[in-house]
Amino acid sequence: MSAPERFGARLAKAISARGPLCAGIDPHPGLLEAWGLPVDASGLERFALGATEVLAAETAIVKPQSAFFEAFGAAGVAVLERVVALARDAGALVLLDVKRGDIGSTMAAYTAAYVAGGAAIAADAITVSPYLGFGSLEQCVATGREAGRGVFVLARTSNPEAHALQSAKLPDGRTVAQSVVDAAAALNAGAGPLGDVGVVAGATIAPGELDLTALNGPVLAPGFGAQGATVADLRAVFGDALLAKGVLPASSRDILRHGPDAAALRTAVRATRELLAGPQENGQ
């Protein structure tokens, strides 16, 4: 039996075919209400499946936010499983935003749930937290690679509460966030066209705050759209070279607010894709 294709290689192909936009699927109660849906499991199902049907056909990768599904208990998790399957059937990769991070047997259980070969909710990649030590993620990364799956490690996130921790200086002069990037880069060394270990770096951070040149992996860039970051901000923070290789600007509310009409939702996601195409083309 041949080994599965690496996540980084699959992601590079998907970006080439559909562009870099990462479309969030966030069933926030306010969005359910804006779509005229009840804030219950039935409303969640109609929202999430309707959004996925459109977004997964238009983008390289979709990002369901697990917490909004978990809030509805077992029925919500069942909907999440259907979202993952529907997105894959439409040709999109699935980055499950779960932000898991723990040690020992607990992290092993999270790995079995999401990235192992027989994972219960088998996403193509998940978000993970390194703040119990980057080494606590190593088995998750290794198991994911065996199954052709990846991880995105929180490095410099877009929320203001994270600044004090992630920008704190280590004895060697690097910030905590930069040390996370460097650890991910070490795991990606020699991989092509992209490594399997991505990082999360907000599109709203200051230009030059992180050195991503050696990462050799994808960058999930939250903060684009509703949180205020523009295409110009993406270019300032990441530069044309990185934008052309593996930066995934993430947008959810700016697109999802155009539902529940499928045609309006499709128009919105296509407009966002076209907006992002400009910097890439200019950088080539």
Residues with a catalytic annotation lie at: 99
- Spatial separation of the C-alpha atoms in residues 108 and 143, rounded to whole Å: 9
In single-letter form, the type of residue at position 87 comes to A
For 179, the token pair is 């040390």
- Spatial separation of the C-alpha atoms in residues 147 and 144, rounded to whole Å: 5
Cβ–Cβ under 8 Å, residues 249 and 17: no
Cis peptide before 222 (omega within 30 of 0): no
Write down the residue that tokens 């991503």 correspond to: 212
Q: H-helix or E-strand containing 162? A: none
Residues in a beta bridge with 128:
100, 153
